[in-house]
Amino acid sequence: MGHGNGTSTALDALTHLAGERIDHRFKGLPPDALGLTVAELAGQRRNLFDGGFTTPVLTLSAERLAHNLALMKTYTERHGLAFAPHGKTSMAPQLFRRQIEHGAWGITLAVPHQVWVARAFGIERIFLANELVDAPALRRIAADLAADPDFRFLCYVDSVRGVELMDAALRGSARPVDVVVELAAGEGARTGVRGEAECLAVADAVAAAPTLRLAGVAGYEGEVPGADPARVAAYLRQLLALAVRFDAEGRFADVDGIVVSAGGSAWFDTVAEVFAEVPELSRPALKLLRSGAYVSHDDGHYRRISPFTRVPEEGALQAAFRLWAQVVSRPSPEQAFVNAGKRDAAHDLDLPDAQVVRRDGTERPADGVSVAKLSDQHAWLTTTPEADLEVGDWVGFGLSHPCTSFDKWQLVPVTEADGTVVDYVRTFF
């Protein structure tokens, strides 16, 4: 994992996670596990359904996690892409490690706190998909770069003012900070430089800043207005043209490779297609994909927009989340309530999807059961006459939007298909 002492740092930190004691911080775990270490509880290989776990409890499928990790490794290798999956999705160092073990170049992050988490667990290559203008954070990055020659850090720049603030904060630093010019995906896009003239001005500002080094270009195609394959491809070709122009003008003279980066979770097939067109540059191109939601996938938004639905011959991701809740009220034949709500389930893109019901050790499809809305701690279920649902039943839900599912759980059981809990994933949000 990484280089130099990164491997030992990561292993030491992960070992420390396994030594954490089970206590009040962690939802859904067996009450009689209080005081055990995470490693001790995992070693007991309890079953989710009869091992004392309480509801609500979020789980990850061991088999589906492994499938998704292997699929994206194969996909990026097939298309000649380097991979820096976005760590904001899970903020789980154990998953970061597995992603790197599956060939990831590094980890993408969004804000300084996430960088500190990754560094604490030995991540040596970090792509910050934001312009960083916080002076204390920049000084800490500079200190890390000075102390660790194997640490590689890149971040966006998208304004002359931002470059000036970065340069002022980094004066006296031992190593320059590598930056990439972020090209906006169009008017109304979230961040990024809006036009070619502005891109040149930002690049000129970087050249004038001794603390910074221009390493490439980047963008996020998910913000393309009215996104479709043609519009996304047109934007990505603008990104390539900017890299070609910067290279022709000698702006990458001090770097070993030229970074060209894009790729959310909706259009990475188009990124692969267009990045295959990168021409020969003065230095090798690092074609860096940043998709992050793949690691768990989901049963809603990302299932609908996944590029694998457009190119099924490439494979298919599998939804790894399942949220288990218990029926605590059945006030009428048309309505039921379970004990999981907004505090437990993602709800910003889609409501949870009722998938299965368990009673007396038997699991069956949740026919006639749907989620109408969420309160803080309850899901309001609508039930049809065919729904066989009683107080005490466990209901398993699929979730939509991985990023707002992981962040509600500090310790997530990883289960095999028969319900055996084989591991626990720790998150840091």
What's the mean pLDDT when you consider all of the chain?
Answer: 96
231-287, pLDDT tens digit by residue? 999 999 999 999 999 999 999 988 999 999 999 999 999 999 999 999 999 999 999
Element (H, E) at 369: strand 369-374
Radius of gyration of the chain (CA): 23
| Residue 2 pLDDT > 80 | no
Residues 214/257, Cβ–Cβ less than 8 Å: no
Q: CA 53, CA 422: separation in Å to the nearest integer?
A: 14
166-182, pLDDT tens digit by residue? 999 999 999 999 999 99
Q: How many residues in total does the chain contain?
A: 429
6-48, pLDDT tens digit by residue? 667 778 899 999 999 999 999 999 999 999 999 999 999 999 9
Q: CA 138, CA 135: separation in Å to the nearest integer?
A: 5
- Which CATH superfamily includes the segment(s) 124-291? Alanine racemase (3.20.20.10)
Residue 6: what pLDDT? 64
Q: CA 159, CA 193: separation in Å to the nearest integer?
A: 7
| Paired sense of beta strands 335-338 and 353-359, if any | unpaired
CA-wise closest residue to 402 among 129, 86, 53, 54:
86
3-state secondary structure of 141: helix
Q: pTM for the complete prediction?
A: 0.95
Give residue 197's identity as a one-letter amino acid code: A
User: Binning pLDDT at 50, 70 and 90, where does residue 5 land?
Assistant: low
How much of the chain exceeds pLDDT 70, in percent? 98
Domain ranges (residues) in the chain? 124-291
Q: CA 388, CA 353: separation in Å to the nearest integer?
A: 17
- Runs of H (alpha helix) within 38-91: 38-43, 62-78
Q: What are phi and psi of 379, to 5 degrees?
A: -105, 130
Residue 37: what pLDDT? 98
Phi-psi region of 2 (alpha: psi -120 to 50; beta: other; left: phi over 0): left
| Paired sense of beta strands 107-109 and 125-131, if any | parallel
Residue 223 DSSP symbol: G
